[in-house]
Homo-oligomer: A and B are copies of this chain.
Amino acid sequence: MAPTSEGGAEALLPDLPKGPLQAYRSRASFCWKELALFLEGEDVLRLKKTIFSTLENDPLFAHSHGEELCLEKCRELSFLRCLRLLELSFLSMEDMVASPLLVQTLIACLGMYDWSLGIKFLLHMLTFGSAIYSSGSKRHLKYLPKIFNMEIFGCFAVTELSHGSNAKAVRTTAHYDPTTEEFIIHTPDFEAAKFWVGNMGKTATHAVVFAQLYTPGGQCHGLHSFVVQIRDPKTLLPMPGVMVGDMGKKLGLNGVDSGFAMFHKVRIPRQDLLNRTGDVTPEGTYVTPFKDDKQRFGASLGTLSFGRVAIVGMSIVNLKLAVSIALRFSATRCQFGPTDGEEVPVLEYQMQQWRLLPYLAAIYALDHFSKSLFLDLAELQQGLAGTDHSARQAELGREIHALASAGKPLASWTAQRGIQECREACGGHGYLAVNRLGDLRNDNDPNCTYEGDNNVLLQQTSSYLLSLLARHVQGGARIESPLRTVDFLEAYPDILGRRFTCPSVDGCLDSAVPLAAYEWLVCYLLRESHQKLTQEKRSGSNDFEARNNSQVATSLVSELVK
């Protein structure tokens, strides 16, 4: 570390206040400031400091401990805070593109403060904003400044009452009318109402709406996204033909106004089709640069991965908060001891260490994974923006999709279980609302569900691995990927031949030992799944049945992540 940067870091990392944790802290065998600097880097630390000190000094962000807020008030407050965030503009569009890790830091800081705010902001700026940016074209750039100055407020509407995981089957329609050059957005019935859409409940003025695109003559071209105005930005009253409302109380994230909407023949200009993957000419002809639906879908995988990769980071923030609370409590909470007069901190108990320290270790491992995946994704997206259509780019898209589809379950489940363990590790005091473990559990929970239910996502990773194996077995294709995460599978017959030989418990502490065991297990389960699937197909099951009858076997492959 250069001395100047250390000097700078010193100011960024003031000494911790003296207190009951001092005894443990003084026993550390390393300098925590150096570690923080090594893990985060100065830019990230500086941004964190800017954000936290700004929020601390603005009364709008004062936490109202004790005071109870009703649902309406929670949502109003999150909205006002979101507005203020946009005024504060911690990162410009240029910063975001130049330093993806700063984007991750911003989300993390907002989440540490309050996930309702973090997610409201994320949905508007990044989900809504980047849907327009990455699925639209030049004609949609006009929306971007309006997003930054909050002239419009956005949401992202895929899910319907009856279709979540099976998003491709949503039933909202967009019929093109060449006489007026408009699309007619329509909800055929209540089950096709848009549902669960964050920001839609009370505050969004615009939605990116996914609908089945029909051209004159009645041909359906599959799912496309459209920018639809749903409210008047001045009055927040719904636009004509739009029935929109709030879904009510959720288990957590109650500052986010999740909403539903039904469209009654709402007309929007032709230009508001986000046309990166397909467009309709003024006369009503469908045009697309892609050969088929599958290729078109492949091109959109990068966009899909963003949310999942973000959730990996968000889940880790939750685990960090929970583990910090539980460890600090355990270091100061005394209970029992060698004699009646002398009690020891519960952290001294072997059980308490056994329960908490593996989660502390998981944080470091997952944090590293999360950052590197975020950077890989940024690389992918920059390629997409530069319209890189190379084979490597396509392969990278698939690999990141597979990593994100297993990484999101890994991180969100680890966090969910870890938070529960931390809650219990704090005994009764962990059950008091003010100690936040309940909010963390409730706010982390949907990370297991949105952007793809964990159990459904795992199957995507399994499919990826199985298809690599199938191509290898059938055509002798090499198993390799741009980020090299699957390259070890190339040696899978050798790996399967390996035997566990480590003679002692101490020997197992060498990380090569569990790694080898892990490789063996992946190969073993992969082979089992492959055989099960092949056998099912041979015995006459159709594709759907075969996949279903092998679901547990194939999911186990990715469940390894658990």
Contacts and interface: CB of A to CB of B under 8 A. Distances in A.
A351 B354 CA distance: 30
Contacts of A441: 251
Interface in A242-264: 247-252
Contacts of A338: 542-545
B432 A453 contact: no
Residue among A70, A459, A550, A551 facing the most chain B CB atoms (10 A cut-off): A551
A512 B403 CA distance: 42
Which of A336, A431, A543: most chain B Cβ within 10 A? A431
A74 to B, nearest CB: 10
B455 A431 contact: no
A427 B350 contact: no
Given A71-B68, A432-B248, A337 B420 contact: no
A251 B351 contact: no
A424 interface: yes
Interface in A416-448: 416, 420, 423-424, 427-428, 430-434, 437-438, 441-442, 445-446, 448
Contact of A169 (B68, B340, B420, B430): B340
Contacts of A251: 423, 431-433, 437-438, 441
Interface stretch (A13-21, A159-167, A173-181): A159-167
Contacts of A433: 248-251
A450 interface: yes
A190 interface: no
A552 interface: yes
A124 B31 CA distance: 53
A481 to B, nearest CB: 26
A454 interface: yes
Contacts of A66: 248
Given A165-B336, A338-B544, A450-B428, A351 B455 contact: yes
A548 B349 contact: yes
A349 B455 CA distance: 11
A449 interface: yes
A431 to B, nearest CB: 5
A283 B427 CA distance: 41
Contacts of A459: 351
A555 B455 contact: no
Contacts of A549: 350
A343 interface: yes
Contacts of A434: 248-249
A159 B348 contact: no
A251 B437 CA distance: 8
A355 interface: yes
A496 B340 CA distance: 39
Contacts of A153: none
Contacts of A424: 448-449, 453-455
Contacts of A354: 551-552
Contacts of A166: 335-336, 343
A121 interface: no
A449 B428 contact: yes
Contacts of A340: 169
A196 interface: yes
Interface in A451-479: 453-455, 459
B453 A431 contact: no
Contacts of A169: 336, 340, 343
Q: Which 10 A-B pairs have CB atoms at the shortest separation, nearest pair first?
A: A251-B438, A249-B433, A338-B544, A350-B551, A351-B551, A166-B336, A166-B335, A196-B428, A354-B552, A350-B552
Given A248-B434, A338-B545, A351-B555, 8 more contacts: A196-B428, A250-B432, A338-B542, A338-B543, A350-B551, A351-B455, A424-B453, A431-B446
Interface of A: 66, 68, 70-71, 159, 162-166, 169, 195-196, 247-252, 334-338, 340, 343, 348-351, 354-355, 416, 420, 423-424, 427-428, 430-434, 437-438, 441-442, 445-446, 448-450, 453-455, 459, 542-545, 548-552, 555
9 contacts: A163-B335, A165-B335, A166-B343, A247-B432, A338-B542, A351-B455, A351-B552, A420-B420, A424-B449
